[in-house]
Chain A
Amino acid sequence: MSDVDIPRTARLAVPSATALRRLAVALVAVAACVAPFQLEPFRVFQLTMVLVYAVALLGLNLLVGHAGQISLGHGGFFAIGAYTAAVMLDRWDTPHVLTLPAAMAVTFALGFGLGVPALRLRGLYLALVTMTIAIFLVPLLKRFESVTGGSMGLTLSRPEPPSWTGLAEDQWLYFLALAVATAAGLAVWSLLRSRVGRALHAVRDNEIAAEVMGVRLARYKTLAFAWSAMLAGAAGAVNTWVIAFVSPDSFTVNLSILLLAGIVVGGLGSTFGPLLGGAFVLFVPTLAQDVNQAAPGVVFGVVIILIMYVAPRGLAGLAGRGGRFLDQALRKK
C-alpha cells in the first residue's frame, strides 16, 4: 500500500472512516427529526412505513445476515404482531402503547417455539418450512372470523397525538415509528457488539467450529429466531397503528418474500442495510406501479438477481465500497 509513505500530518487532514461514519449517522439523525416538518403528509406517511419495514428488516437481518438462518416466514410474524395489536385494540380498547409489548411477547414466544424444530433444519429446508407456515397463516386468519374479522379484516383507531406536542396525526405516527425503530436499532447494535453477536457470527460462518469453541448452537439459534420474530412482531404492531386496518390478504407470502428481498438488497449483515432495504421495499413498488401493475415484480426480480451477482452485500455494501474508494482517492492526493 502506498499510504505507508504519507507523513502523519498529511493523514490527519483527511477524516478517518470512523469519523465519516459518525458524521453520516449524525446527518441521518438530524434529517430524520426535521423531515416530518418539511414534507407533505403523504410523504411523512411513506417515511413512517419505511421505518416500519426497517424494524422488521432489523429482525430479519439478525437472523439471516448475522446468524445465517434463512426465513421465508417473517411476513407471518409481522402479521401475528399486527393482529395481536389489532385484536387488543378491537376487543378491549387497550391503549396503543400497551399493544406493542404484547405483540412483541407473543411473537417472541412463537419465534422461540418455531426455533426449536428449526434447529433440526438447515438452509433450504428451513426456507421451505417457514414459507409454508407463512402461507398457512392466511387461511387460518380467515377461519377464526369471530376474533380476526375474517376476510373483511378489522378497522381500528389511530393513536392520537397528545395536545402538548402540537403535532399532526401523521407527524405523531412518524415519531412513534422513529422511536421504535431507533430503540430496536440500538438494541440490535449493542447486542451484536456483545459476546452474543460474536457467537451468532461464529454459528453463521462455521457451525462445527463454533460448537468446538463452546458456543451453544441450540441456544443461540433459537434465541436468534425468537428475537428476530419479536422485531417483526413489533413492526407489525406499529404497522397496525399507522394503517389502522388489518386483513389477512395484506399478509400473504408475498410479504415474506418482499422482506427477504428487502434485506438482501439493503445489505445482509450490515448496520444500515435494514433502513436501505425498508426504503427499497416501499419506494420501488410505488415508483414502478406507475408503469404497469406487473412492473414492480419485474423490477424486484431483476434487481434481486442482479444484486446477488454484483453486490452480495447489498446497497449498504456498495455504499461501503464507494466510501472506501473515496477515502483512498482522497488519501492519494
Chain B
Amino acid sequence: MADFIQQLVEGLGAGAIYASLALALVLIYRFTGIVNFAQGEMAMFATFIAWQLVQAGVPFWLALGATLAIAFGGGMLIERVVIRPVEGAPELALVIVTLGLFILVNAAAGWIWSFLIKDFPSPFPGGALDAGGVHLSYSTLGVLGVVAVVMGLLYILFRYTKIGLAMRAVASNPASARLLGIRVSGVLALGWGLAALVGAVSGVLVAPVLFLEPTMMGGVLIYAFAAATLGGFDSPVGAVVGGLVVGIAETLAGAYVGVIGSDLKIGVPLAVIIGVLLFRPQGLFGRAAVERA
C-alpha cells in the first residue's frame, strides 16, 4: 500500500509538470485557436536561458525570475512576428507555422548551446519527508508547490483584474471585445506571453529530472497534449486536472503493468488522446463545439 501511495505521489509530481505545459497550450488555444506545437521547444529555450544565467553566477531564484520575464517578452514577440501574419488562416497553415517554429527553436538552441546534455541544478533540497513509509521528496513537493502558486496567480489574474477580464472577453468573443474598446491584438500578444511564461515554468521544473538538452521537451509535450485533450482544449481547469491524471496514469502503468514498463510508457498518453477523442472529443471540462452548417 505504501508503495502504491509512493507511486501516486510521484505521479502527481510528474503530472504537475505536464499540467503547467498543458496550461500553456490551453491559454494559446483559447486566445488564438492554435495548438502550439512549438510550446515545448519554447519552454526548453527558456530553460537554457535560465541555465546560462545560473552558469554566469546569478542566484537560482533571481535567474528564474529573469527567465520568466524573458519568456514572457519572447512569447509576445513570437505572436507579433510569427503568428500575426497567419492569424485566421486555415488550420493546416497554423499547424505548419508552429511546426516550423518547433524546428527553428529546437535547432537554434542546439546551435547556441550544442546538443550535449547538461546538468540543471535543482532549486530544491535533496532530502525527503517521511510520512508513514511514504517518501515525499522535497523536489516533488517543491514542484507541486511552484505549480500551485502559478495556477493561483493565473486564477487571480483572470478572475480579479481588469486586464484578466479583458483577456476573458477576447477569448470568448473577439469581435464584441473590440467593439468595447479592448485592444484585441494587444491581448492576443499578452496571451502568448503568458503561455510562454507558464511553459517556461514547466521547462525549469522538468530540467533537473530529465537533464537539459534541445530535445528535452519532446516527450513532455506529448503528455501535455494528452492532458489538454483529456481536460478539454478550452478549459484551464481541465488542463490542470488532465495533467495530474495523465501523470498518475503514466507512473502507475509504468510501475504495475509489466508489458508497458518504462520504455513503452509513451503509449499511455497516446491511449488517453485516442480514447478521449473517440468517446468525449470535447474533453472532461471542455464545451462541445456546435457547428452551424
Contact = CB atoms under 8 A, between A and B. Distances in A.
Interface of A: 64, 68, 70, 72, 117, 120-121, 123-125, 127-129, 131-133, 135-136, 139-140, 142-143, 208, 253, 257, 260-261, 264, 268, 292-298, 300-305, 308-309, 312
B interface residue count range (under 10 / 10 to 19 / 20 to 34 / 35 or more): 35 or more
Nearest to B99: A257
A312 B93 contact: yes
Interface in B202-226: 218-219, 222, 225-226
A136 B267 contact: yes
B277 A304 contact: no
A131 B221 CA distance: 11
A286 to B, nearest CB: 15
B278 interface: yes
B229 A128 contact: yes
Nearest to B107: A297
9 contacts: A120-B281, A131-B222, A132-B273, A139-B267, A261-B103, A294-B107, A297-B108, A301-B101, A305-B82
Contacts of B37: 127
B83 to A, nearest CB: 10
Contact of A133 (B108, B115, B270): B270
A253 to B, nearest CB: 7
A121 B89 CA distance: 19
Contacts of A124: 35, 91, 95
Contact of A301 (B93, B105, B270, B274): B105
Nearest to A212: B293
Nearest to B104: A301
A257 B264 CA distance: 22
B266 A304 contact: no
A292 B109 CA distance: 12
Q: Which applies to chain A's interface (DSSP): helix, strand, loop or mixed? A: helix
A117 to B, nearest CB: 6
Contacts of A297: 103-104, 106-108, 110
B263 A208 contact: no
B249 to A, nearest CB: 15
Given A253-B218, A308-B89, 14 more contacts: A120-B277, A120-B281, A125-B229, A136-B270, A140-B267, A264-B96, A293-B115, A294-B108, A294-B110, A294-B115, A297-B103, A300-B107, A301-B108, A308-B100
B267 to A, nearest CB: 6
A309 B106 CA distance: 21
9 A-B pairs with least C-beta separation: A297-B107, A301-B104, A304-B100, A294-B111, A294-B110, A123-B91, A301-B103, A305-B100, A294-B107
Contact of B92 (A64, A293, A295): A64
B108 A70 contact: no
Given A120-B277, A260-B99, A136 B107 contact: no
